[in-house]
A and B are shown apart, each in its own frame.
Chain A
Amino acid sequence: MALTPSLEDYLEAIWVIGQKKRVVRIKDIVKHLGVKAASVIGAMKILADRGLVVHERYGYVDLTDKGVGIARNIYHRHKVLTKFFHEILGVDLGIATKDACKIEHYIDKKTLERIVKFIEFIETSPDGEPLWLSHFYHFLKTGRRPESCGKRWGSGGKMKQITTLNKLKVGQKGRVVKILTSEVKRRLLDMGIVPGAEIKIEKTAPLGDPVDILVKGYHLSLRKEEASAITIEVIE
């Protein structure tokens, strides 16, 4: 049978205290959780009945192997959630901890796993904090994207810029990354605008639209509307 959130809290508390001290006493738990001794004693009784805790004399409690398993799991959730809220989303530690304490009891294993992966993905980024994340923090602070947004460091250390074709200026060259799904996608593909193809913006029409591009050795004109469906890596 599932444990109530408060019982899970008790297990977690015993485990956390146990990590610091050799033995865990009722009064340690009272202090750790800020509850009354009577409540702790009552809870210990239930947990003992479930075979998760061994309540010894002199006020010492200890977790059974099964209890350790559950407690560790809850503590893991707590840590992950706190980290996610505080370190990634940038929420204050106090709030992050408080929310983690609540959510840890309810979150599904799958969701938690995904968050763990997400954190891992960010932490293992080869260049330290990913640029997009710092952009996010900049965005949090200022409400605006930083000027450099859209640029990232490529493997060769050369600046790579990803944008859409309509944003390219006359004379600029780019390489097609992908074409967004739209009514005209197939037409664009057939005309040779395939991933990897080089495109140069030749000119814009006198009224500002459409644009004339060079691709696969010929001139093609597109409205900016159509060009915005083409993701481009700027090469010069």
Chain B
Amino acid sequence: MKRIKIALAGNPNSGKTTVFNSLTGSRQHVGNWPGVTVERKEGKFSYGGCEVDVVDLPGIYGLTAYSLDERIARDFLIKETPDVVVAVIDASNLERNLYLVAQLLELRVNVILDLNMMDLVEAKGISIDTEKLSRVLGIPVVKTVANKGDGIEDLKKAIVAPPKRPGPFQIDYDPDIEAAIERLSDTLKNKGLPKEYPLRWLIVKLLEGDAEILEKVKKLPEGSGIEEAVLKTTASLERNLGYDLETAMVERRYGFLKGLVRECSEKRLGIEERLELSDRIDSVVTNKFLGIPIFLALMWLTFQFVFALGTPLADLIDSFFGWLGTAAASGLTVLNAPGWLSSLISDGIIAGVGSVLVFLPNIMLLFLAIAILEDSGYMARAAFVMDRFMHALGLHGKSFIPLILGFGCNIPGIMATRTLESRKDRILTILVNPLMSCSARLPIYTLFAGAFFSKNQGSIIFSLYLLGIILAVVVARIFKTIFFRHEVAPLIMELPPYRLPMVKGVIIHMWERGSLFLKKAGTIIFAGVILIWLLASLPVGVEYASEESLIGRLGSALAPVLSPAGFGFWQAGVALFFGVVAKEVVVGTLGTLYGVEEAGLRSALLQYFTPLSAYAFMVMSLIYIPCIAAIATIKRETNWKWTGLAVGYSLILGWIVAVLIYQIGGLF
């Protein structure tokens, strides 16, 4: 069977993902692009005796090396040379969508133009002369309505048809520019320019001042000569043009497309008409007065959806594994299995699997909610509404949602940063996310606040949430200056027309991202739980998690370090160790260590803690090390370096703040 490789390219919101889903159905999987955490979707389909591998490129507007997504797409097209590139465009907004197509053609790849969302166009009584479009651009043109599956058959047919090298299409720049391109082609022909790029494209990019290409050329043996020739040409062209060459070239490109669109579509739609419904929705949703209340209401709904709906399910899973653990332990005892084995199975393996799966309902619901917010077009509005506020904190409008979700659980919070385009915003939002006091910390707060501050329990707990937020703001600012001082993260964001999310698309989206969490983060969580189990069970023969176990010894070793914070005893150290598995485990561990049930724990604590050291302990629990699942998720979304920083800074910060509180509080 013949195998061909194709790529899907297109603007965000052009329906590219829908086309991808219609082409490949369920035969797809998601991974990451090498070295970066940008999703790489691949799929397969067979048609007409051909096995077709489909790669879904990130949604992009151009092929400049401006953003990570654009660089990924460009590198893929140049290095992996797909046989065909399907350019999916929103036919109801031809001009801007064709801009990317023009760039693809300049790169001399085999393009098939997919005019998607044709139903929207036809509903307005507009016709597009596809034959003319095909003739002028020299490429096959197919009409589709991907969300209804219309035209997908034609698209498949076009894909497997023998590819034609793109015709002689090229954008005709200014005569002066064309003359300069020709002159430069002659000069640069034999200068050992990288062969994988078409010469004309390379020269166009050099004239546009493309930083990445310029950098590549400079490294050539004759690089400085080439650079000089280019700079000279640019300068002389700019003198005649009266403004800069980059602007001039983009302008010509758009100029060409404007003409083309005018020629090929009969009646052009006024923008007001095209966006009628969407604009009407927006007049409410991003309204001056209603915008923020609506945003907050939707956030509340999302929060409720993810946690109120998910947590009972999570509890169910939790108690199931609790039951399974106990059952297994007693079963093994009946079978006279050695104690360590039954402990390994119940406390280690079953608890480990349980602590991964317990996140599943929240994660799945989160991704369902995010998929709906994104596909409907609301996500961009949320960023639009909140950007002023978040930008003041050094973050991006879209950072708000991950942070809010962090109050429920940091794992979905961290996963939700995928909606952020800039690496800087993503990393900063991830790093501060664990400071959002997640629901797993609430049992610790309730226990201590109940025991020591029973009269104003509410305000004490509230102060902890507030402290987390304040620290997040401060930490974000500090990290921004340290690590991203020179990075600008502008907000130049399309507000796409509102669309009804498609059930199939949303479900696929949810499933892919959710299962990815299970696979990648799951292993680390599992390994972490086993590690803690080992520490608590070794050396052989000790009572689980007693003072003599490794973890108990670590706790004792830690006690002097913790004593300036007011809780320098080994039980506190061990509890904090176990808290790394999941923060709420701190409560259970303290119970076990003091040998009391949860009810008796309060009075036990009163013997060891003062109100001040209890508060310091709560602060420590809030800040120190994200739980294993959060660490694993941070690793999954970034790399070990950032993960190390997240662990390290929180540990140090937690200690410092706890010590400060205990020491300063002791003065009064």
- Which residues of B sit under 8 angstroms from A222, Cβ to Cβ? 490-492
- Which residues of A sit under 8 angstroms from B282, Cβ to Cβ? 203, 212, 219
Stretch of A37-45, A71-79, A137-145, A192-200 contacting B (4+ beta carbons < 8 Å) = A192-200
Are B271's CB and A189's CB within 8 A? no
Partner of B286, one of A181, A183, A196, A205: A205
Are A194's CB and B247's CB within 8 A? yes
- Which residues of B sit under 8 angstroms from A225, Cβ to Cβ? 490
Complex: how many Å from CA A135 to CA B95?
41
Are B494's CB and A219's CB within 8 A? yes
Complex: how many Å from CA A76 to CA B274?
66
Are A212's CB and B384's CB within 8 A? yes
Q: Number of contact residues on A: which range applies?
A: 35 or more
Are A192's CB and B289's CB within 8 A? no
Q: Does B251 contact A (CB under 8 A)?
A: yes
- Which residues of B sit under 8 angstroms from A184, Cβ to Cβ? 488, 490, 492
Are B388's CB and A208's CB within 8 A? yes
- Which residues of B sit under 8 angstroms from A191, Cβ to Cβ? 61, 96, 492, 494
- Which residues of A sit under 8 angstroms from B66, Cβ to Cβ? 186-187, 190
Q: Does B291 contact A (CB under 8 A)?
A: yes
Q: Does B64 contact A (CB under 8 A)?
A: yes
Q: Does A131 contact B (CB under 8 A)?
A: no
- Which residues of B sit under 8 angstroms from A206, Cβ to Cβ? 286-289, 291-292, 385
- Which residues of A sit under 8 angstroms from B380, Cβ to Cβ? 221
Which residues of B22-77 are within 8 A (CB) of A? 61-62, 64, 66-67
Nearest-CB distance from A188 to chain B (Å)?
7
Partner of A185, one of B246, B383, B388: B246
Partner of A220, one of B62, B95, B288, B492: B492
Q: Does A226 contact B (CB under 8 A)?
A: yes
Q: Does A207 contact B (CB under 8 A)?
A: yes
Q: Does B493 contact A (CB under 8 A)?
A: yes
Q: Does A214 contact B (CB under 8 A)?
A: yes
Complex: how many Å from CA A125 to CA B448?
82
Task: Write out, one digit per residue, whether chain B residues 335-362 have a CB within 8 A of any chain A CB (1) or not (0).
Answer: 0000000000000000000000000000
**Most chain A beta carbons < 10 A, residue from B66, B269, B397:** B66
Chain A residue at minimum C-beta to C-beta distance from B283: A203
- Which residues of A sit under 8 angstroms from B442, Cβ to Cβ? none
Q: Does B389 contact A (CB under 8 A)?
A: yes
Are A218's CB and B247's CB within 8 A? no
Partner of A189, one of B250, B286, B386: B250
Which residues of A31-65 are within 8 A (CB) of B? none
Are A192's CB and B388's CB within 8 A? no
Q: Does B509 contact A (CB under 8 A)?
A: no
Are A223's CB and B254's CB within 8 A? no
- Which residues of A sit under 8 angstroms from B387, Cβ to Cβ? 205, 207, 209-210, 221, 223
Nearest-CB distance from B485 to chain A (Å)?
14
Chain B residue at minimum C-beta to C-beta distance from A204: B288
Partner of B488, one of A183, A190, A209, A218: A183
- Which residues of B sit under 8 angstroms from A212, Cβ to Cβ? 282, 286, 384, 495
Q: Does A171 contact B (CB under 8 A)?
A: no
Complex: how many Å from CA A218 to CA B64?
21
Are B286's CB and A190's CB within 8 A? no
**Most chain B beta carbons < 10 A, residue from A178, A197, A219:** A219
Task: Write out, one digit per residue, whether chain B residues 362-400 have a CB within 8 A of any chain A CB (1) or not (0).
Answer: 000000000000000000100111111101000001000
**Most chain A beta carbons < 10 A, residue from B95, B246, B286, B492:** B492
Are A178's CB and B247's CB within 8 A? yes
Nearest-CB distance from B401 to chain A (Å)?
16
Are B385's CB and A217's CB within 8 A? no
Nearest-CB distance from A26 to chain B (Å)?
54
Partner of B95, one of A185, A192, A203, A210: A192
Chain A residue at minimum C-beta to C-beta distance from B491: A223
Nearest-CB distance from B102 to chain A (Å)?
11
Q: Does A81 contact B (CB under 8 A)?
A: no
Are B254's CB and A188's CB within 8 A? no
Q: Does B244 contact A (CB under 8 A)?
A: yes
Are B291's CB and A205's CB within 8 A? yes
Partner of B64, one of A186, A192, A204, A219: A186
Nearest-CB distance from A133 to chain B (Å)?
23
Nearest-CB distance from A110 to chain B (Å)?
19
- Which residues of A sit under 8 angstroms from B286, Cβ to Cβ? 203, 205-206, 212
- Which residues of B sit under 8 angstroms from A201, Cβ to Cβ? none
> A205-B291, A220-B495 given as contacts; is B388 within 8 A of A189 (CB)?
no
- Which residues of A sit under 8 angstroms from B668, Cβ to Cβ? none
Q: Does A66 contact B (CB under 8 A)?
A: no
> A216-B95, A216-B96 given as contacts; is B288 within 8 A of A226 (CB)?
no
Nearest-CB distance from B75 to chain A (Å)?
18
Q: Does B93 contact A (CB under 8 A)?
A: yes
Chain A residue at minimum C-beta to C-beta distance from B242: A178
Q: Does A165 contact B (CB under 8 A)?
A: no
- Which residues of B sit under 8 angstroms from A178, Cβ to Cβ? 243, 247
- Which residues of B sit under 8 angstroms from A226, Cβ to Cβ? 490-492
Q: Does A29 contact B (CB under 8 A)?
A: no
Q: Does B651 contact A (CB under 8 A)?
A: no
Q: Does B99 contact A (CB under 8 A)?
A: yes
Are B246's CB and A221's CB within 8 A? no
Are A218's CB and B96's CB within 8 A? yes
Q: Does A179 contact B (CB under 8 A)?
A: yes
- Which residues of A sit under 8 angstroms from B246, Cβ to Cβ? 185-186, 189
Are A192's CB and B96's CB within 8 A? yes
Q: Does B171 contact A (CB under 8 A)?
A: no
Complex: how many Å from CA A191 to CA B397?
20
> A205-B286, A206-B289 given as contacts; is B490 within 8 A of A183 (CB)?
yes
Q: Does B275 contact A (CB under 8 A)?
A: yes
Are B491's CB and A192's CB within 8 A? no
> A190-B99, A217-B96 given as contacts; is B384 within 8 A of A210 (CB)?
yes
> A220-B494, A226-B490 given as contacts; is B250 within 8 A of A210 (CB)?
no
Complex: how many Å from CA A187 to CA B68?
13
Are A209's CB and B64's CB within 8 A? no
Are B494's CB and A188's CB within 8 A? no
> A181-B244, A191-B61, A216-B96 given as contacts; is B491 within 8 A of A210 (CB)?
yes
Are B491's CB and A194's CB within 8 A? no
Chain B residue at minimum C-beta to C-beta distance from A216: B96
Nearest-CB distance from A97 to chain B (Å)?
38
Partner of B250, one of A181, A194, A203, A223: A194
Give the A-binding residues of B (Cβ under 8 A): 61-62, 64, 66-67, 93, 95-96, 99, 243-244, 246-247, 250-251, 254, 269, 271, 274-275, 282, 286-289, 291-292, 380, 383-389, 391, 397, 488, 490-496
Q: Can you list 11 A-B pairs, Cβ within 8 angstroms, ordered by A?
A: A186-B64, A195-B243, A203-B282, A203-B286, A205-B388, A206-B288, A206-B292, A210-B491, A217-B269, A218-B494, A222-B491
Give the B-binding residues of A (Cβ under 8 A): 178-179, 181, 183-192, 194-197, 203-210, 212, 214, 216-223, 225-226
**Minimum-distance CB pairs A-B, first 8:** A207-B388, A190-B62, A206-B291, A219-B495, A189-B250, A194-B251, A184-B490, A209-B388
